[in-house]
């Protein structure tokens, strides 16, 4: 049993890291913001964390705190101008952000070491650290999700006009969503750089953006289980398909298309919906029995 | 020197414009952000390249095959990725995700096919003829490219605004429901639309493949990313906007590479996108009333 865990530790770690990224993407999508900025926030978090430790020699927890804070700050900075944009325009603006961060990390060689990335970062975060982080973020997301903020997110996503007429400030909640997304992605980036010894700019490019979006679409955008399910499926699936190495991307693409066409609400949300419907049906049939009896 | 760079910028920019035209056309009519447009472009270039390698066809035929190849790939893409979503009336989010999936599949297949090699058009595909004009070195190929692009744009505008088919397309862009009531078959319209868009991308693919002398499976990605900037700058759905913005981006990029640094070019171009979205999200020629459709020139 222990050897099983041991040989699969990297896979577990990757799944946990992906779950964090998926949460960052999930929180904006839930609020109806079509942001693709998660990869940019994660890159910022990773570089902040790596530089804090390698250049300044500070302890790693300062790096994590700084990465979260700066991630949240960038999220807030992006949210202010993006409050005017919707849908496709938001997607494009955040895509531009990813590209801007990518070219900064590639070209600001003095600080980021350019395309070589930052190497020999001491490994300070293991499986346990990642587990704790995911547990805290999951709890936090669940708490927010069932609070008034979560309800407001749901209303805004479904219909902005209704939200406004209910007195919900769209700008404010979009702002909250961006800050949360930035903070979580910053944390994910920091943990990744403390977990993997080295970071390079191209890890945080278009590919990451696509995979993270795929996780949330596949898992579901409403319930808290969505990003977790999506991250686990899309982390484990490539391992199962290792024999078909060449067709991994094809399968990923096909899965993404199939899930948005045939399962538009995602695996978790569809299952939860089906479960609720069945419970309601059972309740009503039981009530009918008691009435007839 | 400056004039020479400007000239290079115009050539690159007109190809950007051609690529962005197909993208903006689909957005204008169907409100789909076709993230697989880069893959269509790449397959168009492949079609042209393989025609040249296998059958030794001349340059104009290669262009034609690239156009038809790109067009067919694009039509299949529509059937597989977008039609089921359109039927359901899914939100724009869905079509973006679906086209990302389609793009992954198309890129991966191309990678298998070519074993990740960078391929080249034969050296003699286009004769190297250089004119000297007022101290400028102008290649015949550059002239031909700019000529082709302008011809395509004029042809497209004629098709959309002066023919029956174009009227159908614009009518569907205005409202698919109303068009159906008037007896227009949206299936045929979307077929034309995606074929046109893919054909434009395919021609751009063959041209880029010859100009930069490389054809590989990732060649679409930088163009797709540029195309976002081009269409936003020009106004989503605006055809002249796409061309003008394409030229502008081409020139800005060439000048940045020449006078500042190659690394700065990307940062500058994408900062420009950010800036345009903030100051004037409808772009240079976009119309803020209607969400910039091709009905408005």
Q: What is the pLDDT of residues A122-148, one digit of tens each?
A: 888 888 889 999 999 999 999 998 999
Nearest to B108 among A95, A253, A264 (CB): A253
Supply the pLDDT for residue B198: 95
Q: What is the pLDDT of residues A38-77, one digit of tens each?
A: 999 999 999 999 999 988 888 889 999 999 999 999 999 9
Contact between chains at A99 and B274 (C-beta distance less than 8 A): no
- A186 within 8 A of A40, measured Cβ to Cβ: no
Supply the pLDDT for residue B2: 82
Give the residue among B252, B251, B250 at the shortest CA–CA distance from B264: B252
| Residue range(s) defining the domain that contains residue A147 | 2-292
Supply the pLDDT for residue B172: 87
B282 to chain A, closest Cα gap in Å: 10
Name the burial class of residue A35, with classes exposed (0-12), middle (13-18) and buried (19+) by CB atoms within 10 angstroms of its CB: buried
Helix/strand/coil for A17: helix
Supply the pLDDT for residue B265: 81
pLDDT, average across residues A223-247: 85
Contact between chains at A88 and B33 (C-beta distance less than 8 A): yes
Supply the pLDDT for residue A5: 67
Helix/strand/coil for B130: strand
B contact test, residue of A32, A94, A245, A250 with most B CBs within 10 A: A250
Q: What is the pLDDT of residues A100-124, one digit of tens each?
A: 899 888 888 888 888 888 888 888 8
Nearest to A254 among B105, B266, B273 (CB): B105
Give the residue among B50, B26, B49, B51 at the shortest CA–CA distance from B37: B26
A57 to chain B, closest Cα gap in Å: 29
Separation CA A271–CA A217 (nearest Å): 14
Q: How confident is the model at residue B290 (pLDDT cuts 50, 70, 90)?
A: very low
B271 to chain A, closest Cα gap in Å: 7
- Taking contacts as CB-CB distances below 8 angstroms, the residues of chain B near A249 are 104-105, 107-108, 111
E runs forming strands in chain B = 130-133, 136-139
Residues 211-240 of B with CB under 8 A from A: 221, 225, 228-229, 232, 236
Separation CA B122–CA A220 (nearest Å): 49
Structurally, how many domains does chain A consist of?
A: 1
The CATH number given to whatever domain includes residue A21 is 1.10.3470
Q: Is the pLDDT of residue B289 over 50?
A: no
Supply the pLDDT for residue B288: 46
Q: Is the CB of residue B260 less than 8 Å away from at least one CB of chain A?
A: no
Q: What percent of chain B has pLDDT over 90?
A: 32
Nearby residues of B253 by Cβ (< 8 Å), 6 or more positions away: B9, B12, B13, B226, B265, B268, B269
B30 vs B263: which has the higher pLDDT: B30
Q: Is the CB of residue B110 less than 8 Å away from at least one CB of chain A?
A: no
Contact between chains at B101 and A260 (C-beta distance less than 8 A): yes
User: Quick one: tokens of A193?
Assistant: 């750089």
């Amino acid at each position: 049993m222990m050897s099983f865990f041991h040989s699969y530790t990297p896979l577990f770690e990757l799944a946990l890291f992906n779950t964090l990224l998926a949460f960052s993407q999930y929180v904006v999508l839930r609020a109806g913001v079509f942001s693709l900025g998660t990869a940019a926030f994660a890159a910022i978090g990773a570089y902040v964390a790596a530089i804090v430790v390698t250049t300044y020699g500070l302890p790693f927890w300062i790096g994590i705190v700084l990465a979260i804070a700066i991630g949240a700050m960038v999220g807030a900075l992006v949210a202010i101008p993006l409050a005017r944009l919707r849908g496709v325009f938001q997607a494009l603006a955040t895509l531009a952000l990813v590209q801007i961060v990518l070219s900064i990390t590639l070209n600001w060689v003095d600080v980021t070491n350019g395309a070589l990335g930052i190497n020999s970062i001491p490994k300070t975060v293991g499986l346990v650290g990642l587990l704790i982080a995911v547990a805290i973020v999951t709890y936090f997301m669940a708490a927010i999700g069932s609070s008034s903020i979560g309800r407001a997110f749901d209303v805004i996503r479904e219909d902005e006009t209704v939200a406004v007429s209910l007195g919900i400030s769209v700008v404010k909640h979009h702002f909250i969503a961006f800050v949360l997304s930035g903070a979580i992605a910053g944390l994910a980036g920091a943990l990744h750089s403390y977990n993997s010894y080295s970071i390079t700019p191209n890890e945080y490019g278009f590919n990451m953006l696509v995979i993270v979006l795929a996780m949330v679409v596949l898992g579901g955008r409403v319930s808290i289980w969505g990003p977790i399910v999506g991250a686990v499926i899309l982390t484990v699936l490539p391992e199962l398909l290792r024999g078909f190495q060449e067709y991994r991307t094809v399968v990923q693409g096909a899965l993404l298309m199939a899930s948005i066409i045939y399962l538009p609400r995602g695996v978790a949300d569809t299952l939860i919906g089906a479960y609720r419907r069945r419970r309601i049906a059972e309740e009503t049939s039981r009530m009918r029995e008691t009435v007839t009896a | 020197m400056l004039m020479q760079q400007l000239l290079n910028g115009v050539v690159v920019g007109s190809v950007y414009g051609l690529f962005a035209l197909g993208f903006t056309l689909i957005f204008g009519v169907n409100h789909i952000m076709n993230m697989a447009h880069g893959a269509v472009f790449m397959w168009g270039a492949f079609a042209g390249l393989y025609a040249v390698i296998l059958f030794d066809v001349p340059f104009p035929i290669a262009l034609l095959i690239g156009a038809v190849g790109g067009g067919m790939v694009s039509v299949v893409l529509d059937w597989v990725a977008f039609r089921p979503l359109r039927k359901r009336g899914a939100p724009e989010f869905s079509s973006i995700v679906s086209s990302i999936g389609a793009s992954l599949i198309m890129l991966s297949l191309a990678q298998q096919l070519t074993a990740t090699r960078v391929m080249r058009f034969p050296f003699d595909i286009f004769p190297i003829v250089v004119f000297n004009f007022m101290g400028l070195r102008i290649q015949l190929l550059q002239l031909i490219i700019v000529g082709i692009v302008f011809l395509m744009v004029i042809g497209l505008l004629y098709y959309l605004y002066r023919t029956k088919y174009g009227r159908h397309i614009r009518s569907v862009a205005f409202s698919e429901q109303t068009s159906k009531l008037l007896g227009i078959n949206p299936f045929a319209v979307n077929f034309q639309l995606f074929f046109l868009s893919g054909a434009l991308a395919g021609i751009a693919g063959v041209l880029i493949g010859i100009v930069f002398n490389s054809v590989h499976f990732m060649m679409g990605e930088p163009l797709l990313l540029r195309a976002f900037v081009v269409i936003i700058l020009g106004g989503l759905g605006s055809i002249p906007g796409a061309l003008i913005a394409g030229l502008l981006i081409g020139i800005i990029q060439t000048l940045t590479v020449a006078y500042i640094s190659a690394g700065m070019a990307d940062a500058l171009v994408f900062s420009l996108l950010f800036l345009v979205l903030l100051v004037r999200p409808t772009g240079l020629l976009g119309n803020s009333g209607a969400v910039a459709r091709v009905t408005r020139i």
